[in-house]
A and B are shown apart, each in its own frame.
Chain A
Amino acid sequence: MTMMTGAEIVIRCLQEEKVEYVFGYPGGAVLHIYDALFKQDQIKHVLVRHEQAAVHAADGLARSSHKVGVALVTSGPGATNAVTGIATAYMDSIPLVIISGQVPNDYIGQDAFQECDTVGITRPCVKHNFLVNDVHQLALTFKKAFYIANSGRPGPVVIDIPKDVTAAKCRFDYPSAIQMRSYNPVVKGHLGQIKKAVHLLLEAKRPMIYTGGGVILSNGAEPLTRLTRRLGFPITNTLMGLGAYPGTDRQFLGMPGMHGTVEANLAMQHCDVLLAIGARFDDRVIGNPDNFSSLPRKIIHVDIDPSSISKRVKVDVPIVGNVPDVLEEMIRLIEAGNAAPDAQDLAAWWKQIEEWRSKQCMKYRMRKSVIMPQYVIEKLYEITGGRAIVTSDVGQHQMWAAQYYKFEQPRRWLNSGGLGTMGVGLPYAMGAALVNPGMQVVCVTGEGSIQMCIQELSTAKQFRLPIKIINLNNRYLGMVRQWQEMFYGSRYSESYMDSLPDFVKLAEAYGHVGIRVERPEDVEAALRKAFVDHKDDLVFLDVITDQKANVFPMVAAGKGLADMILTEDL
């Protein structure tokens, strides 16, 4: 067997893992790796303009494809720039492998040029990380990293490689399988617990299904849809779980939580049996946990991560297991017993839910002279036929996209739900566009968020990514402004956006198409122009929207779910 350098081994490992795209940025500590990359053509490298975007783009690729995303950065500032991306992926359990260069072994701890303690800095925001001091450990470490990143509850794994290790030589031997005595994620749920859960579900008078990002990540949408239809129960998907159940179906109550629908939130509060799947009872979803726990309901919780169970809310029937496996077992038990819930009870419960739904909490008033942001999302939904991959940044536009775009399928809605990272939208769209050629990819953003990774317009040009950017431009950091209006006596402290660039000219400067939209009657035509006439171009739609529009309904932080503030437009 021939000897290889560490750098060549890195590339061979990525090839063995069938990695198609690596997002990265070169620098001193990774020069050997970039040289090895240059000498092959199996893996394509996407040169971003800032390391944060490299990790976000790898993350967008992973979210939209069920593959492991890979980023490559240099030591020191390369690694620290990547941290926001890593923490973002960690909070949403996205499988990534991040390779960082490190100063040579002899220099570690000497405050060398571009040295930082990457393993120490990233430790609290990774599933696991490695510092590989010895070239002989390199291949095994890559095998472990991909296995850890993409099994159990997924997450980012960092491999920090000192420069001398990438120059050292050894034989390449990639293990075909891996066994770790300290890491054995559970797959099958406990049958006794699943039986108990099915019994509870069939006895329920007011059942409710609540599912999160775990259903998307585990590819559980199909069995979830089958189970929900079979039972005829109402269902809600969290911000991270949208698309797990068809958004236009009658059984779907919309999103729950801080900006959830009246029907979803009240059904969450008033159900007598709650089936939670791949969700973690987040503060933005259940509001105040004491208020939530005060109501007498039985909770069944299915999750691959035992530490997610009974963390914020005590549950009655915990089931640790892989979501699709547990759901299939539930379906099997229900079908074998030929069992069905009580039709009369269920009808009465649906009657109550329809009454809540008839409030039409998402209604908003159209204005003649100014564009309502909700209207833009509704039109976007129509024109893309509900089939686009939609990414968003963080803020009001994110909530409107989640509320008004009806997601029919999983992995079509990419946003930073856990960490809430502004700036993810464009790089997410880049990763999604690369790995899903031919699909419509839209980035719904705001004039605040888009400027946090605006430099990636250059990357998008280089790789000819036909992303459509919908910039809901209200000249405010809208969500901050909304909280200031509601809770800080309308003192708009630093939430206005002054001295904005001319986004149309900016897009053109990067070689893209820019269109400004200022009147409601022009929205549809502009969207058509973007999606039809400029199908193969990146189009930046700068949509000037109502400055005072707020996101409703709203549950204020610390309040119970039933305590919703509704729009005055009703």
Chain B
Amino acid sequence: MRHIISILLENEAGALSRVAGLFSARAYNIETLTVAPTEDVSLSRLTIVTSGTDAVIEQITKQLNKLIDVIKVVDLSEAAHIERELMLIKVRATGKDREEVKRLADIFRGHIIDVTESTYVVELTASGAKLDSFIQAIDPGLILETVRTGVCGIGRGERILKV
């Protein structure tokens, strides 16, 4: 099963590689990984999308907690949460495709943020699954380049991850 794990860790040199190294050393799977400092710059917040059986996910959270730099670990997907991912996608936009891409971007509530005579760059923020649908909706021949940030997520309501 797919899980979204949120981690608060010390914003120190090498902390990220401890987390990434743990996943490769113990043969855990990483689908996406995002990291950035929080409002308190001594802390980083890291979101990992992984998958595995309940036993594997239990081990992942325990092993993460064991890392000295890790302060807190939460499996966001255990309860109500929101997830978002940002994608920038550059497409060939000439002739009738120009209209078609614009219309699709509108339907998916994306923005065209770069325009040339022959290309668009569309910015889209949504769940990972919705970004996948956008890619599927576009003629694959038109896609020039995609870049995605990976998932970040947050608990709903009073579910708060803080030191």
Contacts and interface: CB of A to CB of B under 8 A. Distances in A.
A332 interface: no
A119 B18 CA distance: 10
A307 B21 contact: no
Nearest to A306: B62
Nearest to B14: A119
B79 interface: no
Interface stretch (B67-75, B100-108, B111-119, B147-155): B67-75
B13 A182 contact: no
Given A120-B17, A128-B68, A181 B55 contact: no
A139 B122 CA distance: 52
Tell me whether chain B's interface is mostly helix, strand or loop, or mixed: helix
A131 B14 contact: yes
B62 A127 contact: no
A306 B18 CA distance: 19
A248 interface: no
A102 to B, nearest CB: 14
Contacts of B9: 182
Contacts of A148: 68
B62 A123 contact: no
A124 interface: yes
A310 B58 contact: yes
Nearest to A152: B66
Given A119-B14, A307-B59, 18 more contacts: A123-B14, A123-B21, A124-B21, A124-B25, A127-B68, A148-B68, A180-B68, A181-B71, A182-B9, A182-B68, A182-B69, A183-B68, A305-B66, A306-B65, A307-B62, A307-B65, A310-B58, A311-B59
Contacts of B17: 120, 123
A490 to B, nearest CB: 35
B162 to A, nearest CB: 12
A182 B66 contact: no
B105 to A, nearest CB: 43
Most buried by B among A120, A182, A307: A182
B18 to A, nearest CB: 6
Sort A-B residue pairs by CB-CB distance and give the 3 closest, nearest first: A307-B62, A128-B68, A182-B71
Nearest to A124: B25
A180 B9 CA distance: 12
A181 B25 CA distance: 26
Contacts of B58: 310
Interface in A170-207: 180-183
Contacts of A314: 55
Interface string B26-53: 0000000000000000000000000000
Nearest to A185: B66
B63 interface: yes
A306 B66 CA distance: 8
A182 B25 contact: no
B50 to A, nearest CB: 16
B63 A307 contact: yes
A310 B55 contact: yes
A535 to B, nearest CB: 45
A420 B142 CA distance: 57
A100 to B, nearest CB: 15
B14 A182 contact: no
A44 B97 CA distance: 79
B13 to A, nearest CB: 7
Interface in B56-107: 58-59, 62-63, 65-66, 68-71
Contacts of A306: 62, 65-66
B137 interface: no
